[in-house]
């Protein structure tokens, strides 16, 4: 049965006072976490673990404890096991998580609860945090600066041979798992169906890598022949997997159903890898990025080229951020594909109006966002100061406008968004997503934004208190 929280233990509070331990930032975050509406959002997700989670069963880990543990996990950017270890041995963190003298959940239990939280719920968290920041006068929503960045998925650099080897390895692993289930249920099969071709695929892929350094025609021809051999090995493994999956239909049990679904998932992805490799290497065809797969594990990853000198291509998703005065990220969006930046400003303005109920006095973005349509739309919504530098040729009137002091100061303020993105990458996991699948990616980004806003509100309130004391 889902519990709200543990009963407050006064002995623990006395012990903490005697120890003299405290953390100013966590104290302020703790006060914000007292908001009841945040727990209502979370409880609606956690109550769906089983049909009668809220009514029957043994007592669960309280919602309050789960929420606070996950906030700490993403605030410190450490693993589930590490955060449990830290909380277990630290009085301040035990108090913050409202665990007191009770036992902490296991790592696997915390992961199961964490996976129930939807990406949409985290967006609701962030909207509520922005409301609280406005009430606490951390922000008034008078200024907005908007920009995008790319969060990478946790994959290796994709090459045709490495993707084929990944496909052979994963299919073989599932074939061997299926073999145990088939033998256990005494289903007659041909032992040749379980042949492992992973070692052969690795040897061929290594030879392809060695030949990739050569620029001669002979080396290119050899490489093409090796790719054909690797395609044959991958195709043979794929055929094995399809045959084994067909045999699994005669087996029974929950494990069989789960394995069949996993088989179908990876069979489809390996088929796509084989198809794109054949088109690229054998057919010498340029495959559009929308038709490519760059990982059989994180197949949702987009191929993003932003024209950066140090990074030619990135694999992940573009994330668009809207930051208001006070350092609060009021809105964020995980974008599909690689859309042009000019498409993002109208949605930024609409979301701001919905969140704050009034237009900002100033909005700023990079020159990639500039368009006359965007400027006109911003003006029509009542925004007075529009800081959108125009790329390319500028008329004399435009040059005069962009040399005004107000425009210059607006550009200076906008430059701070680059520091905000850097802060998110260094401290909140925006360098690389460690969660799996597309839903996991959105949850990772959502948690990063939420804990960032918790921290910024906490730091601002501490700063205000220090000024008041002076």
Using only C-alpha atoms, the chain has a radius of gyration, in whole angstroms, of 27
- Among 183, 284, 177, which Cα is nearest to 227's? 284
252/274: higher pLDDT: 274
The one-character DSSP state at 389 is P
Q: What is the pLDDT of residue 11?
A: 87
Q: Mean pLDDT lowest for which of 250-254, 296-300, 422-426?
A: 250-254
Alpha-carbon dihedral sign for residues 428, 290, 438, 147 = positive
**pLDDT bucket at 448, cuts 50 / 70 / 90:** very high
| Residue 189 pLDDT exceeds 90 | no
- Exposure pattern of 18-45 as b/e (b: 16+ CB <10 Å)? eeeeeeeebebbbebbeeeebbebbbeb
* 8 A C-beta contact, residue 145 and residue 416: yes
Q: Do 135 and 235 fall into the same domain?
A: no
Q: What is the pLDDT of residue 64?
A: 93
Q: What is the pLDDT of residue 437?
A: 92
- State the average pLDDT over residues 276-289: 91
Q: Do 49 and 97 fall into the same domain?
A: yes
Which residue, 89, 117, 145, sits at the end of a domain? 117
**pLDDT bucket at 399, cuts 50 / 70 / 90:** very high
| Residue 214 pLDDT exceeds 90 | no
| Residue 316 pLDDT exceeds 90 | yes
Which residue, 236, 269, 291, sits at the end of a domain? 291
* Chain centre distance of CA 136: 29
Q: What is the pLDDT of residue 410?
A: 94
Q: Which residue has the tokens 């997700």?
A: 45
Pairing of strands 314-324, 302-304: antiparallel
22/199: higher pLDDT: 199
Residue 108 is assigned to a structural domain of this protein: yes
Residue 48 is assigned to a structural domain of this protein: yes
Q: Do 94 and 134 fall into the same domain?
A: no
Q: Mean pLDDT lowest for which of 4-13, 74-83, 102-111, 250-259?
A: 250-259
- State the average pLDDT over residues 381-406: 93
Q: What is the pLDDT of residues 86-104, one digit of tens each?
A: 999 999 999 999 999 999 9
Q: Do 308 and 408 fall into the same domain?
A: yes
Q: Do 233 and 314 fall into the same domain?
A: no
Q: What is d(CA 123, CA 331) in angstroms, rounded to the nearest whole number?
A: 8
Q: What is the pLDDT of residue 111?
A: 95
Q: Do 14 and 105 fall into the same domain?
A: yes
Start-to-end CA distance of the chain, whole Å, equals 50
Residue range of the domain that includes 267: 160-291
Q: What is the pLDDT of residue 252?
A: 76
Q: Do 264 and 388 fall into the same domain?
A: no
List, in sequence order, every residue forming a beta bridge with 150; answer none if it has no partner.
Answer: 318
Q: What is d(CA 466, CA 63) in angstroms, rounded to the nearest whole number?
A: 33
Q: What is d(CA 435, CA 426) in angstroms, rounded to the nearest whole number?
A: 17
Q: Do 210 and 254 fall into the same domain?
A: yes
Q: Distances from the Cα of 456 to the Cαs of 28, 124, 268, 451, in angstroms?
A: 10, 18, 44, 9
DSSP, collapsed to helix, strand or coil, labels residue 161 as helix
Q: Do 40 and 101 fall into the same domain?
A: yes
- State the average pLDDT over residues 298-314: 88
For the domain that residue 198 is a member of, what is the CATH number?
1.20.1440
Percent of the chain with pLDDT over 90: 73
Q: What is the pLDDT of residues 144-185, one digit of tens each?
A: 999 999 999 999 999 999 999 999 999 999 999 988 888 888
DSSP, collapsed to helix, strand or coil, labels residue 383 as coil
**pLDDT bucket at 422, cuts 50 / 70 / 90:** very high
Is this model's pTM higher than 0.95 or not?
A: no
Q: Do 227 and 323 fall into the same domain?
A: no
Residue 3 is assigned to a structural domain of this protein: no
**pLDDT, averaged across the chain:** 92
Q: What is the pLDDT of residue 349?
A: 96
Q: What is d(CA 336, CA 319) in angstroms, rounded to the nearest whole number?
A: 9
Q: Do 96 and 171 fall into the same domain?
A: no
- State the average pLDDT over residues 242-247: 90
* Phi–psi pair at 328, nearest 5 degrees: -95, 130
419/183: higher pLDDT: 419
Residue 4 is assigned to a structural domain of this protein: no
Count the domains in the chain: 3
**pLDDT bucket at 362, cuts 50 / 70 / 90:** very high
- Exposure pattern of 236-268 as b/e (b: 16+ CB <10 Å)? ebbebbeebbebbeebeeeebeebbebbeebbe
| Residue 187 pLDDT exceeds 90 | no
Q: What is the pLDDT of residue 215?
A: 82
**pLDDT bucket at 371, cuts 50 / 70 / 90:** very high
Report the range out of 38-52, 196-210, 238-252 with the highest average pLDDT: 196-210
Q: Do 465 and 338 fall into the same domain?
A: yes
- State the average pLDDT over residues 64-81: 95
Residue 297 is assigned to a structural domain of this protein: no
DSSP, collapsed to helix, strand or coil, labels residue 122 as helix
Q: Which residue has the tokens 């727990």?
A: 39
Contacts (Cβ under 8 Å, ≥6 apart) of 117: 42, 45, 46, 70, 443
Residue 357 is assigned to a structural domain of this protein: yes
For the domain that residue 342 is a member of, what is the CATH number?
3.30.420
Q: What is the pLDDT of residue 12?
A: 86
Residue 133 is assigned to a structural domain of this protein: yes
Residue 5 is assigned to a structural domain of this protein: no
Q: What is the pLDDT of residue 144?
A: 96
- Among 128, 126, 152, which Cα is nearest to 447's? 126
């Amino acid at each position: 049965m889902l519990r709200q929280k543990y009963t407050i233990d006064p002995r623990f509070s006395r012990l903490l006072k005697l120890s003299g331990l405290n953390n100013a930032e966590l104290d302020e975050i703790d006060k914000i976490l007292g908001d009841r509406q945040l727990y209502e959002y979370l409880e609606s997700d956690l109550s769906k673990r089983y049909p009668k989670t809220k009514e029957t069963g043994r007592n669960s880990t309280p919602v309050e404890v789960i929420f606070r543990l996950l906030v700490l996990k993403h605030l410190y950017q450490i693993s589930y096991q590490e955060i449990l270890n830290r909380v277990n041995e630290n009085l301040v963190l035990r108090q913050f998580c409202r665990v007191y003298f009770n036992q902490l959940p296991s790592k696997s239990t915390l992961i199961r609860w964490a996976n129930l939280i939807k990406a949409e719920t985290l967006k609701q968290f962030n909207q509520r945090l922005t409301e609280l920041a406005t009430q606490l006068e951390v922000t008034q929503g008078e200024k907005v600066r908007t920009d995008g960045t790319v969060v990478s998925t946790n994959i290796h650099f994709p090459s045709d041979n490495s993707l084929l080897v990944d496909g052979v390895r994963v299919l073989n692993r599932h074939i061997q798992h299926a073999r145990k289930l088939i033998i256990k249920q005494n289903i007659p099969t041909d032992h040749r169906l379980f042949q492992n071709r992973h070692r052969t695929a690795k040897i061929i892929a290594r030879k392809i890598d060695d030949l990739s350094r050569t620029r001669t025609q002979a080396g290119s021809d050899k490489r093409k022949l090796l790719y054909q051999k690797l395609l044959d090995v991958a195709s043979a493994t794929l055929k094995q997997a399809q045959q084994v999956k067909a045999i699994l239909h005669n087996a029974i049990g929950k494990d069989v159903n789960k394995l069949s679904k996993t088989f179908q998932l990876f069979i489809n992805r390996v088929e796509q890898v084989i198809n794109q490799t054949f088109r690229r290497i054998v057919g010498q065809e340029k495959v559009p990025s929308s038709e490519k797969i760059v990982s059989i594990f994180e197949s949702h990853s987009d191929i993003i080229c932003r024209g950066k000198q140090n990074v030619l291509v990135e694999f992940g998703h573009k994330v668009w951020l809207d930051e208001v005065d006070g350092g609060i990220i009021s809105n964020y969006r995980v974008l599909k594909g690689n859309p042009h930046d000019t498409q993002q400003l109208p949605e930024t303005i609409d979301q701001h109006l919905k969140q704050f109920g009034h237009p900002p006095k100033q909005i700023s973005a990079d020159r990639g966002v500039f368009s006359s349509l965007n400027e006109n739309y911003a003006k029509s919504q009542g925004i007075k100061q529009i800081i959108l530098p125009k790329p390319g040729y500028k008329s004399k009137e435009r040059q005069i406008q962009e040399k005004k002091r107000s425009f210059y100061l607006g550009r200076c303020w906008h430059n701070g968004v680059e520091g905000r993105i850097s802060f998110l990458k260094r401290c909140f996991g925006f360098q690389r997503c460690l969660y799996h699948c597309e839903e996991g990616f959105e949850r990772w980004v959502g948690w990063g934004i939420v804990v960032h806003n918790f921290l910024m509100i906490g730091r601002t309130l501490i700063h205000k208190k220090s000024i008041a004391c002076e």
